[in-house]
Amino acid sequence: METNNLENLLKEHILRDQARLDRIELKIDKLSETLVALARAEEKLATLEFTKVEVLKRLDEHEVRLDTHSDRLNAGAVTINTINKIFWVTTAAVAAALAQLYLR
């Protein structure tokens, strides 16, 4: 009877150890899944950082181009203002000449 009892105790011990090992294995599986998810997230972050740098470079290039266009527009505005002034001075001179001709 003692051998039977000893065998039962040994079986119970083995079953408890097996259950404990199964729980440990599940925890290790969850941990490995978490590590894989973290690695994927890290890759995504690295990709996002690279993309952000590229977008900032492009924005800088566009800013330079906009500044160039702005300078050209400002130069054009000065030219248009000069032409406008010449037009009005010429119109005033012609009007004065015509008035002098008719008022004589």
Residue-wise pLDDT for 86-101, tens only, equals: 999 999 999 999 999 9
Residue-wise pLDDT for 10-38, tens only, equals: 899 999 999 999 999 999 999 999 999 99
Answer whether residue 45 shows pLDDT above 70.
Answer: yes
What DSSP letter does each residue of 21-71 carry, written as one string?
HHHHHHHHHHHHHHHHHHHHHHHHHHHHHHHHHHHHHHHHHHHHHHHHHHH
Average confidence (pLDDT) over 37-52: 97
